[in-house]
Structure 1
């Protein structure tokens, strides 16, 4: 599987960096530690923002600008990270789905970056990041049919399946998901920041989502790679 970027983005005038990380996962109810971390991050962000609008967060503001350039009004179609932070700023309770999705929400809430959660086994062929065209839609998770025109989106051989606004039901994470793809939507974002988020994602998913036997295998592979480098 390859991840490609449509050449149209070269003419839009903003940096495009995608982070793609594959994790073997076991989907469960979120453990107490993950729930507590999300609640603590929510409190931290409330204190950090000091009543300011979620759209004033510098990372969210950059993503909103990318939406505008692509042709989507970010005040009607908010980046998922902005929608999550707005919920926190309004004092609404966080919602908890499962450990894999909640770990992504922890990452997004803390960084301001939209992230996508996908079941790799439901993706067909290579992935392309492109801008949605007229009459393109899909069933979004908890949102019904989404008008994709003007949205940066991910598509496979079957069609669009993910955006930094809302992901599709077709490739969503369920209790049967074992092969997970996390996408970091670095639209109008510096690559150094994206690399920091990828490192944080490794830590979060290793702690809360990767089965112990698979984690041991990954650690052994890393050790072997380091020995080969030496």
Structure 2
């Protein structure tokens, strides 16, 4: 988890993005993303949730597939571009939420079935009961199928100033890799935005991160 304020849309992250893209390119040169242990672990997790893993993919697998085919990702916002590049390099889902659009925090939990999810095209969906979502106090689903897709409601935009960044992994070396990923995100924030982020690694024994929303 990374919390940061002072985010703007005019930071320069090209050098950092190129560095992480190069790491992803090297990994993909050795084999497709489906063979990465990070991706295989999420595929197993999706299967246990009753989802077909080649129909619903974790966000990092989707990014890696697109990057492998197009050799680049579209530019969206400097912070999103940076986090997408880090997600590619670590083959790990990285979600970036606009804190101002979250009501009273987020909880990763099974859906009741009446939560509302806003797509990036502006349509409203209701996640199925028991689907794993990121839910806030107003019943908004800020992510569907756990690490499959974020909501357009809390997506980073031109007015975003405070962000919550979440990275999650299931593979065997996740306890080592996630702190390295968090460090990469924090270093990127300090370099591009000159901010001091707050970081924390959650676990089964320490499952909460307090932040203002």
TM-score of the aligned structures, taking structure 2 as reference length: 0.78
Taking the aligned partners of 1:151 and 1:52, their CA distance within structure 2 comes to: 31
- Counterpart of 2:184 (choices 200, 211, 219) is 200
Q: Which has the higher helix share?
A: 1
Q: 1:145-192: per-residue Cα shift (whole Å, max 9, x none)?
A: 567446532111122112411111111111111111001123456323
- Counterpart of 2:56 (choices 52, 65, 77) is 77
The verdict on how the C-alpha distance between 1:57 and 1:36 changes in structure 2, with shifts beyond 3 A counting, is: same
SS of 1:71's equivalent? coil
Partner of 1:41: 20
- Alpha carbons 1:27, 1:174 under 8 Å: kept: no
TM-score of the aligned structures, taking structure 1 as reference length: 0.73
SS of 2:133's equivalent? strand
Q: CA RMSD in A?
A: 2.6
The verdict on how the C-alpha distance between 1:152 and 1:83 changes in structure 2, with shifts beyond 3 A counting, is: same
* Stretches of structure 1 lacking an aligned partner (at least 5 in a row): 1-19, 220-230
Taking the aligned partners of 2:26 and 2:169, their CA distance within structure 1 comes to: 25
Q: 1:76-123: per-residue Cα shift (whole Å, max 9, x none)?
A: 111110111111211343211111111111210110110111111111
Larger radius of gyration: 1
SS of 1:158's equivalent? coil
**Runs of 4+ off more than 4 Å:** 133-137, 142-147
SS of 2:55's equivalent? coil
* Stretches of structure 2 lacking an aligned partner (at least 5 in a row): 199-213
